[in-house]
Amino acid sequence: MEHTTNKHSKHQAFIAQADEALLKKRNAVDAAFRLHYHVMPTAGWMNDPNGMIHFNGDYHLFYQHDPYQAKQGPMHWGHVRSKDLVHWEHLPVALAPSEEYDKGGDGGQGCWSGSAVDDNGTLTLIYTGHVDGKTPEEVQCLATSKDGVIFDKYAANPVIGDSPDAKRFGFRDPKVWKRGGKWYMVVGYGKDGIGKAIVYTSCDLLKWEFAGAAAESDGSMGDMWECPDLFPIGDADKHVLLISPMNIAPVKNLYLSGTFDYESCRFDKQYAEQIDYGFDFYAPQSLLDDKGRRIMIAWMNIWGATMPEQAHGWLGAMTLPRELTLAADGSLRSNPVPELIALRGRHAAAADLTLDEGRFVEIPGVRGDSLELIAVFDMSSSDASEFGLRIRCSEDGSSYTEIRYAKSEQKLYMDRNLGGAGDGGVSAAPLQPAADGRVQLRLFIDRSSVELFANDGRIVITNRLYPDPANVGIKFFARGGSAVIETLDAWELSSIW
């Protein structure tokens, strides 16, 4: 595709200004809630992951970013790059609002969410230009780069100037992929109270043809589907559609699995479930890497929440990268990528540990705010009605976040009502013991987050936590009987920064 490169363009001047603002602000950021091994902005605001791609041997992750303030403002695209999905380097801001189709308006404006493709060696970003109050308010745009760092906007933007229907509620967050020499774009859409994922096709990324709705809400799945991501998975050409529905309570993320017909561009849903049962998981996006893995990252926050780190000069983080696989029944498994093992340091372990009713058990060496922990509970030798652990416990025991499995309900809970600052609340997810009768809990605890993967990624609960930094205790417990921890492994995880 032809594109113009002009390092001294108006766009590059806005980018230079944004990078300069970040340099000044980064020293003023308070360390208290800064994460050890999660992607976060050096300063300012971060939301959705954008443009995830494995390009020329590097993983690129862009993100919605306001470099000037720790709140949502004119959106830029921040940019980090990694060789191993574990260690990330911050690169210059990739996109800044600079043109009439992505700048201006009284409230929201900017380079909103989108995706990236490798177009014959040109890294191409496809994003939504958003200007509040403008007609049309949302259009789809391109920007390109040869070196994967400096991006120029396509001179004839927008490439899609209006939505199929002017009376739509939203038209944004294009995710593009290639199949059989043709480009496909799925875009988030809402009309008459019904959220949809609509599809466009193109031969050159420049001219797009509307192909209809791939899928839409049955009335219970929200009125606008933000950040749709549609991709093939597994060997049988199954497809998964990730969506972030708006105005739906309380579920804020869903996946549909089924088949996608590349002729009619219709998605046939066979299975649907929440992607993550935590509060702080939104707008996931995925990439396909050179090992054929489908890897997903999401924003580890949620709109409308109390966000204690805002007062510290920054906001927002990404979840750990998770590899997605599809089980035979159509349900997803999401597991942290194995590369994260590189972070493991000091190890502590225990085995065949009986937790007696009413006692809290601490295990030597198992405490901290930067930890991976794998606990396997043997249900056959446990008669407790509930068991689990408290993390980020204060010395006096009054503050903690509790993770518990309720046997008769077959539910996994994460209760952060006594967890510290922030919103509190209890996350709940259905979970059956594995076929061998075990319940496996794998936790990644960081300074202000916890990600809980149960039974090899069958269920995931992601939450931000804002305890006093001194609260690093971990205590195991059982209620209504005793429970047996068959094996426990814990590793301190080193910082990537």
Contacts to ligand FRU by CB under 6 A? 47-48, 64, 75, 112-113, 128, 172-173, 226-227, 282-283
Parallel, antiparallel or unpaired: strands 314-315 and 209-216:
unpaired
Give 137 or 492: the residue with its C-beta nearer to ligand FRU.
Answer: 137
d(CA 71, CA 168): 27
DSSP string, 290-338: TTS-EEEEEESS-TTS--GGGGGTEE--BPPPEEEEE-TTS-EEEEE-G
Q: Which of 19, 30, 48, 235 is catalytic?
A: 48
Give the H or E element holding residue 273. strand 266-273
Backbone angles phi, psi at 10, to 5 degrees: -55, -40
Residue type, 144: T
Would you call 113 helix, strand, or coil by DSSP? strand
Q: Cβ of residue 345: shortest distance to ligand FRU, in angstroms? A: 34
48 a catalytic residue: yes
Cβ atoms 98, 11 nearer than 8 A: yes
Q: Cβ of residue 355: shortest distance to ligand FRU, in angstroms? A: 40
Q: Cβ of residue 283: shortest distance to ligand FRU, in angstroms? A: 4
Q: Cβ of residue 235: shortest distance to ligand FRU, in angstroms? A: 32
| Structure-token pair, residue 325 | 């696989």
| Structure-token pair, residue 14 | 């806005």
Give 142 or 227: the residue with its C-beta nearer to ligand FRU.
Answer: 227
Return the closest-CA partner of residue 453 out of 375, 379, 350. Answer: 375
d(CA 318, CA 175): 18
Q: Cβ of residue 250: shortest distance to ligand FRU, in angstroms? A: 17
**CB burial string 297-329: b at 16+ within 10 A, e below:** bbbbbbeeeebbbeebbbbbbbbbbbbbebeee
Residue found under tokens 């920054």:
314
Please state, in angstroms and as integers, the Cα–Cα distance from residue 330 to each residue in 240, 241, 273, 275, 355, following that order. Answer: 9, 12, 10, 13, 36
Cβ atoms 128, 160 nearer than 8 A: no
- Residue numbers annotated as active site: 48
